[in-house]
Amino acid sequence: MLILALPGHAQLPAPSRTIYKCEANGKIAYTDQPCLGAQRLDVVPTRGVNKLSGQIRTGADVAREQRQENLARAIKPISGMNEQQFSTQVRRHQLDASAQRECRVLEADILENKALERRGVERESVASLQHDTLALRQRYGKLRC
């Protein structure tokens, strides 16, 4: 797989596009860190205010994203991956093989737990699932999956 960063050029980590809606004591908070019973929200940031200025102004981070999206679309017939899958693959490329495997397992476990939680099993089981899901999400974040 291709690495899109050039050696010797420092890059900031990609901003998190996953936001968690957390509710505690009747108050709602939005955070990029998972919490117990969190609702996961995917956000897509805006890419500028071209219409206000009348000029196209693209920052380096947005230009990098656009190049990566164009590359993903160009190689989709070969790779079979959509833009999101390609982005995940590029991000995980820097991880060692065992961490990549663990990321795939964590991802599947998180999705399975959320599906079980949606089915509405008994209250004790839901609480247990939420604790398990929180631990899985924290590990997922720590690995930088």
Give the per-residue pLDDT at 132. 92
Residue 119 has pLDDT above 70, yes or no: yes
Q: What is the mean pLDDT of residues 110-130?
A: 81
d(C-alpha 11, C-alpha 68), whole Å: 15
The C-alpha atoms of residue 70 and residue 32 are separated, in whole angstroms, by 27
Question: Per-residue pLDDT averaged across 30-38, rounded?
Answer: 85
User: How far is residue 85 from each of residues 39, 48, 69, 90, 91, measured CA to CA in Å?
Assistant: 22, 24, 11, 9, 10
What pLDDT, on a 0 to 100 scale, did the predictor assign at position 96?
94
Task: Please report the beta strands in 1-145, taking only residues with DSSP state E, as ranges in sequence order.
Answer: 18-24, 27-31, 39-42
Helices 83-92 + 60-79 axis angle, to 10: 110
- Torsion over CA of 97, 11, 19 and 93, rounded to 10 degrees? -20
When mean pLDDT is compared over 22-36, 54-68, 117-131, the highest value belongs to 22-36
Q: Tell me whether residue 83 is exposed, middle or buried, using C-beta atoms within 10 angstroms of its C-beta: 0 to 12, 13 to 18, 19 or more.
A: middle
Residue 1 identity: M
Residue 7, pLDDT > 50, answer no
On average, the pLDDT of the chain sits at 80
Given this model, what pLDDT does residue 48 score? 62
Q: Quick check: 137 and 110 in contact, CB under 8 A?
A: yes
Lookup: tokens for 144? 């930088």
To the nearest whole percent, how much of the chain has pLDDT over 70? 77
pTM score over 0.85: no
Predicted pLDDT at 5 = 42
Domain ranges (residues) in the chain: 47-94
